[in-house]
Each structure stands twice: as C-alpha cells, then as structure tokens.
Structure 1
Amino acid sequence: MIYLCPNLPNHKSHISTMRGGSHTRFHLRLLANLRLDLPADNLTSPTRTGIIMSAFTCQIKTRFNHTDPAGIVFYPRYYEMLNHVIEDWFEDGLHWPFHHISNGKHFAFPMVKLETQFIRPTPLGERLTFALLVTEIGQSSLKLHVTATGEDQTMRIIFYAVMVMAEITDGKDRTTKAVSLPAALQKKARSFLKPDSTNHNR
C-alpha cells in the first residue's frame, strides 16, 4: 500500500492496492536499484520483484516564493519542503502529529544529520512528487530516505536524514536528551521500512 497526503491539492485521499506490472509516469530510482512506480493520478504501491513495501508520498507545487531570480527552486526551499513532508508523515502516516508530541509533553524530534544530493534544478510551476521511506529504526532514532521527482520523471533531489526523539527539560539548567521511541511509534514506522533496512527494536 501507499500513503498519501490528504491535504495537498489534486491529491486523492485514499490508500490504493498494488497492481503488479502497471505502467506509470513517475519513476524513482533509489538505492540498490529499487524502483518506485508512481503514476500522477492514482499512485500505486512501490514494488520490487517479490517485495511489497510502503512509501509516504506528497506532491508539492513549486511557487514563486520557492524560486530565485533564475526561475528555479532556491536550494534552501527544498529543506522547507522536506520539513513539510516529514511533518505530514508524522501526522498522516504515523498518527503522531508534531503538536501532539510537543504540546505540554516536552518532547521533540530534532534532525541531527542531513545529507543532500541535488540532482537537477526544478523550474517554477512544476509539481514535485516526494517519497519517504524509513531505512533504519534505532532505539531513539529514525533514519529516512526522501526523494523528489519532477513531472518529467527525473530525480531532482535526494535526502538522507536522521531524526532523534528528545526530551526537553525546563528550568534554569535546560537540557535536551535522547529518549527511547515509544513502542506504538516504532510499530507505525515499520510500515514504511525500505527493504533491506534495519530495525534494531524487533
């Protein structure tokens, strides 16, 4: 199955089942020659021979505020888009919205590592399709692999991110320390594990 962002324009709010061998418009090439087939109008499950997995996908249209004077996406705006995708994933995919985590509970999910590959520029007005997969579930951390492809089927950007669940203490000596991921959150995250990924909490 594949999880869709329900609150984005022109994006259907449903979960569709896999249709093996379907021809598609979008092709995402991930590590280890993994291919995600994502048609624009009715996204199907990413597949590899003998393997079914889940990806969280969002479509984001590039707008004027995203671009530089050359008319292409200004690179810091990609990080804002990434945060948009991750925030929607926590809310719609994991059912752990940021406001639920932080509101009165003193927990947060800071990003402690982020690597980026800029593949090709994206022009104003194009709609990007983001796909998020989990590559490792640690005691306190989640490693993510997020890609974005354009309407011409080409990869535009790849992110490798590590997020850690942290507890923030108030008072004079304010501290932040890593804490264990709740079992319910680990279970939800496993739904998005990429094949050949690591789950240290099985």
Structure 2
Amino acid sequence: MFNYETVIRLHHTDAAGIVFYGRFFTLAQDCLEAFLQQHMPLASIIHSGDFSIPAVHARADYRRPLRLSDRLTIQMTLGKLGTNSFELEYQLKNAARQVCADVVVTHVTTNKHTGAACSIPETLRQVLEHLR
C-alpha cells in the first residue's frame, strides 16, 4: 500500500466548488507518479525504457463531495496482476478518514516501439509488489 497526501486546489473543482468528477482520475495519477518517483521514476520509463504503461480502463465510484482546501489521503493498492496488465485501486479519503471516492485503473505494459502488449518487466513487477 502507498499513501499520498494532498490538498484539493481550485483547478480540481467545478463551478459548484466541489471536485469535478474527472479530476479524481488526475488525483489518482498524481498518486501513481509520486509512488513511481520513489521506486522507478516515470521519467526513466518514458525516456529510456523499452515499455510504457498506458491506462486502458478506468472507473470511479463517488461517495461524498470534496471541496476546495480539503485535505486528502489517497491509498493506492495493487489489485489484479497479470502477465501484461495490472490494476491499481485507489481510495480517496478526507481528513475525517471517510471514503470520498474509489478509483480503479487498469494499465497494460506495451512495447514502446511497436505498441504491442508485452509482459510486465521484472523490475516493474517488483515495484508493484510494494503495493500489496
């Protein structure tokens, strides 16, 4: 499991002052990037790696609103881990530790040059195991 602390900023919100639904995916991506920065910097994957990890499916369930300046903890865990895909599960909790949203994103590892699905590299697989 990985915990990521953040705060809701103006650009996360809509005209009603609550987090716009699409921003939950941005917040989940921010969490993933913070995790990778500690274990396998995303820049190294993008610039020198032979693979990429595009998201191929995403879903979210919204439980309670988040508002401007709310403190937020995002818990990221590893869901399914396959041969060439993996699922990351996120729970977004407010300062009272109430679940505000659940987000699930499925990634597929692809060959950077051909775009074809490929096996998850062992280095990435080991990094993902930190999330169990």
Same fold by TM-score greater than 0.5: yes
**Corresponding letter in the other structure for 1:57:** N
- % of aligned pairs identical? 26
Name the count of aligned residue pairs: 132
| Bigger Rg, which one | 1
Give the unaligned 5+ runs of structure 2: none
Q: In the alignment, is residue 66 of structure 1 matched against residue 5 of structure 2?
A: no
- SS of corresponding position for 2:69: coil
Residues 151 and 75 of structure 1: CA distance in aligned 2, closer, same or farther (over 3 Å): same
**Corresponding letter in the other structure for 2:32:** I
**Quick check: 2:93–2:101 contact (8 Å CA) kept in 1?**
yes
Aligned residue for 1:160? 104
- SS of corresponding position for 2:115: strand
In 1, Cα distance between the equivalents of 2:111 and 2:72? 34
Residues 99 and 81 of structure 1: CA distance in aligned 2, closer, same or farther (over 3 Å): same
| Equivalent of 2:41 in 97, 110, 116 | 97
- Measured against aligned partners, the alpha-carbon deviations of 1:83-119 in whole angstroms (never above 9, x if no partner) come to 1111111221xx2221111104352110111111011
| Equivalent of 1:178 in 117, 120, 127 | 117
Across the aligned residues of Structure 1 and Structure 2, the Cα RMSD in angstroms comes to 1.4
- Measured against aligned partners, the alpha-carbon deviations of 1:142-188 in whole angstroms (never above 9, x if no partner) come to 1111110101221111011111111132xxxxx41111112222122
Alignment TM-score, normalising by the size of structure 1:
0.61
In 1, Cα distance between the equivalents of 2:125 and 2:44? 16
Alignment TM-score, normalising by the size of structure 2:
0.91
Aligned residue for 1:82? 28
Give the unaligned 5+ runs of structure 1: 1-54, 170-174, 194-202
Q: What pairs up with 1:1-202 in 2 under 5 angstroms?
A: 55-92=1-38, 95-169=39-113, 175-193=114-132
In 2, Cα distance between the equivalents of 1:158 and 1:103? 31
Q: Per chain length, whose mean CA-contact separation is higher, i.e. which structure has more relative contact order (CA < 8 Å, sep 6+)?
A: 2
**Corresponding letter in the other structure for 1:121:** P
- List structure 1 segments (4+ residues) > 4 angstroms apart after TM superposition: none
Per residue, is there more helix in 1 or in 2? 2
